Structure 1
Amino acid sequence: MVRNRSSGGEVSQPEMVAIPPGRFQMGSSDAEEGHEDNEHPVRDVVVARAFALGRFPVTFDEWDRFAGATGSGLPPDEGWGRGARPVINISWRDATAYAAWLRIETGKPYRLPSEAEWEYAARAGTTTAYHWGDAMSPRDAHYLREDVSTTVLGTVPVGRFPPNAFGLHDMLGNVWEWVEDCWNEFYLGAPSGATPWLRGDCDRRVLRGGSWQDVPRQIRCATRNRNGIDFRCDDYGVRLALDL
């Protein structure tokens, strides 16, 4: 966690990781176990500029300072605890309001990542279903296990699982993460670069990463989800990006 002193007092900022430019294949092929049609067609994406992404999803510690400063109300934690757990029960509109507040308070260009930036960062140079390979184990991420009796229901504090090659924790599992893009059923017509896709169904926005209540095929690097901009859920959170 990084803190910044501004006119409004101490502001908690997410710990950020610099992500280098590069290119990658976005989406999944029919051969990948768990593949969905909305992950088609696989496309070559160029990430032309470096950017920063939160090392962890935004936590309750960070969000609660925003809520206290703006009077926006505290999202419920479902009794699982706050602190270093990822914030939940936030909508896409809430997430963008948090980023806007941080921009004003810190003077830094915080924002939601694009869907392409998110997947590029999640893969961290890999081409497998998960950034650690093609198989899942309880050592890798927080997800819904086949034997539900062994699953911790609800979120867990961030950083419990190993990071990917970029140093990012919890990109897969724990909570779904809102991104900037409007929802489109396929990648046909998507931007050639890593900018957000702001055409399509913009009343629904994309979420990535899967959560504690999803089975392994739903938390692959390529898995996509969507919901309305005001919809809140007990496994919806956010991870911020920052222009460099």
Structure 2
Amino acid sequence: MVQAAGSAFRDGEGLPELVPIPAGRFRMGSPDEEPGHEDNEYPLREVCIARPFALGRFPVTFAEWDRFAAATGAPRPPDQGWGRGDRPVVNLSWDDAQGFAAWLRAETGRAYRLPSEAEWEYAARAGTETPWHWGETVGPGDANCLVDGSAWGGRGTTPVGQFPPNGFGLHDMLGNVWEWVEDCWNEFFLGAPCDGTAWTRGDCGRRVLRGGSWQDVPRQIRAAARNRNGAGFRCNDYGLRIARDL
């Protein structure tokens, strides 16, 4: 059972906007009959998100990252010529994302972190069980991905918030950029935590990404779709969305 999310807030000027996500239960993964289903989405299982948490309303933007870089001397990732500002930051590794979370903790005294894979999927679904939170098919007005009729897909990122939010008020959960989560990579969900916490056992040299991107076809941006790469690997469609304990 999933209740409505709360009103968005920020912990300071120029910091990411957050949405409170309520506690609840959901089914994580995908059934065999779902079009695009992959074996690594097995088994479909119930997960309890025992405590509410906050999640970024949008992926972290270049404006937010560049503020962090100016304060800490962290690298300013290239924007591929697409522009900075309110576009989602790309060319980030999992290690880079951890550095951003650590800076937010130091700046605010709040428990910023990457979401767990379970928290991410719970938030992306927002109470739905369809492949995408808006339904059973993908059209050009749903997300930035490779879909017929899209003015953006395959050409790069879009500024955040160009597509309708899900039921929790979160934008760009599916498409635009892949988002790093906390978990180590495991080929299946057998043995995974059922309480919504991150799975910190398995292949921890590789970490999980969720959400799909501007250069992916619709089946790759399903709520259940999973990706992974080395913790130090950067790519022009890898970004992040920040979480915080409440």
User: Retained in 1: the 8 A contact 2:141–2:150?
Assistant: no
Structure 1 residue 229: deviation in Å? 0.3
The 1:171/1:148 distance shift into structure 2, 3 A limit, reads closer
1:178 to 180, 190, 203: 180
Q: Which amino acid aligns with 2:197?
A: T
Aligned to 1:37: 39
The 1:100/1:53 distance shift into structure 2, 3 A limit, reads same
What are the superposed Cα offsets for residues 196-221 of structure 1, whole Å, 9 maximum, x if unpaired? 00000000000000000000000000
Aligned to 1:238: 240
Q: How far, CA to CA, are the matches of 1:29 and 1:3 in structure 2? A: 39
Aligned to 1:200: 202
User: Retained in 2: the 8 A contact 1:146–1:215?
Assistant: no
User: Retained in 2: the 8 A contact 1:183–1:200?
Assistant: yes
Alignment of 1:91-240 (within 5 A): 91-146=93-148, 151=153, 153-240=155-242
- SS where residue 91 of structure 2 aligns? coil
The 1:151/1:46 distance shift into structure 2, 3 A limit, reads closer
Q: How far, CA to CA, are the matches of 2:11 and 2:59 in structure 1? A: 16
Bigger strand fraction? 1
The 1:221/1:150 distance shift into structure 2, 3 A limit, reads closer
User: Retained in 2: the 8 A contact 1:18–1:51?
Assistant: yes
Structure 1 residue 149: deviation in Å? 8.1
TM-score (norm. length: structure 2): 0.94
The 1:149/1:127 distance shift into structure 2, 3 A limit, reads closer
Structure 1 residue 12: deviation in Å? 2.5
The 1:240/1:61 distance shift into structure 2, 3 A limit, reads same
Aligned to 2:64: 62
Structure 1 residue 72: deviation in Å? 1.3
- SS where residue 14 of structure 2 aligns? strand
Q: How far, CA to CA, are the matches of 2:159 and 2:152 in structure 1? A: 17
Aligned to 1:8: none
Q: How far, CA to CA, are the matches of 1:150 and 1:109 in structure 2? A: 35
Q: Which amino acid aligns with 2:91?
A: N
Structure 1 residue 148: deviation in Å? 8.0
- SS where residue 27 of structure 2 aligns? strand
Q: Which amino acid aligns with 1:135?
A: T
Structure 1 residue 144: deviation in Å? 1.1
Q: How far, CA to CA, are the matches of 1:150 and 1:223 in structure 2? A: 21
Q: Which amino acid aligns with 1:199?
A: R
Q: How far, CA to CA, are the matches of 1:58 and 1:2 in structure 2? A: 13
What are the superposed Cα offsets for residues 100-126 of structure 1, whole Å, 9 maximum, x if unpaired? 011001111110000000000000000
Unaligned segments of structure 1, at least 5 residues: 5-10
- SS where residue 98 of structure 2 aligns? helix
- SS where residue 92 of structure 2 aligns? coil
Q: Which runs of 4+ in 1 moved over 2 A?
A: 1-4, 145-152
Aligned to 1:7: none
Q: Which amino acid aligns with 1:162?
A: P
Aligned to 1:86: 88
